Amino acid sequence: MDVYSNAKRILERVAEASFRAGRAEPAVLVAASKMNGYEALREAYRAGVRLFGENRVQELLAKDSLGAYEGAEKHFIGHLQKNKVKDVAGRVDLIQSVDSPELIDLISARAEHQRILIEVNIASEPQKSGVLPEELPELAARAAEKPGILLEGLMAIPPQNANVAETCRYFEKMHNLFIDIGAKKYDNVTMTILSMGMSRDFEEAIAAGANMVRVGVGIFGERDYGQPHKIL
Ligand SMILES: *Cc1c(COP(=O)(O)O)cnc(C)c1O
């Protein structure tokens, strides 16, 4: 497994897909680095990756204390438990997975300038993280009025079992929500980031309007869930 060449190749594919979609700027690549340790992250950094996303708070803090993200942004992209807000608010560059009024209130109480995205459960799947599409305007309005929070966009993970055509429809639905919420022009809301697309579908996501993609396996190789998460 060669993280350096994988990351180079993914960065190229992101740039090509963005160019094909007529963008002035390439979409931003977030390396989803869960379960991968310091050395793999530094290889990705050496290849040009400048943002990392983690979905477990303890793992993020452990790698951060080793300097694994040095020079790069760190994003929290996983399900955020209320009792862990104190560990991430004000300590990460972007929380991509805010999905409840309670989380907004807790982050607001803890941070001075916390950039966030709202995670949308775009297919309204039962038991999945993310706010339902119909609840999004209310949540965005709440984020807009709370101090300490800057709502910069939306994030989504379409259903795992959807085929490419279905996934593309969800991406398009997300893009429409992104445009609709942006048009409301709330204070403290920029709606500049649309984070969607992973290893298997980031090019389709970019074609549908994503300007941030989150890629794990395509950079770091398959994850072995039987092993403890690497830190080093
Ligand atoms: C792991 C993860 C990704 C990346 O998924 P891959 O299939 O490894 O590319 C993207 N988003 C979130 C929230 C993740 O947890």
Query: How many angstroms separate the alpha carbon of residue 185 from the centre of ligand 1?
Result: 30
Q: Which of 63, 93, 65, 60 is nearest to 195 (CA)?
A: 93
- pTM, to two decimals: 0.97
Q: Chain-wide mean pLDDT for the chain? A: 96
Percent of the chain at pLDDT > 90 equals: 94
Q: Is the pLDDT of residue 228 over 80?
A: no
pLDDT tens by residue, 100-115: 999 999 999 999 999 9
pLDDT tens sequence across 54-68: 999 999 999 999 999
Q: Which is nearest to 230 in space by CA: 32, 35, 58, 3?
A: 35
Q: Taking every pair of C-alpha atoms in the chain, what is the biggest distance, in angstroms?
A: 46
Using a 10 angstrom Cβ sphere, with 0-12 exposed, 13-18 middle and 19 or more buried, the burial of residue 56 is middle
- Which of 49, 55, 222 is the best mutation target for the ligand 1 pocket, counting ligand atoms within 8 Å of the beta carbon and taking the most? 55
CB-based pocket (< 6 A), ligand 1: 32, 34, 55, 77-78, 157, 198-199, 214-218
Q: pLDDT per residue over 28-40, tens digit each?
A: 999 999 999 999 9
Nearest CA to ligand 1 atom 7: 199
The answer to whether residue 14 scores a pLDDT higher than 80 is yes
Residues pairing with 5 in the sheet:
none
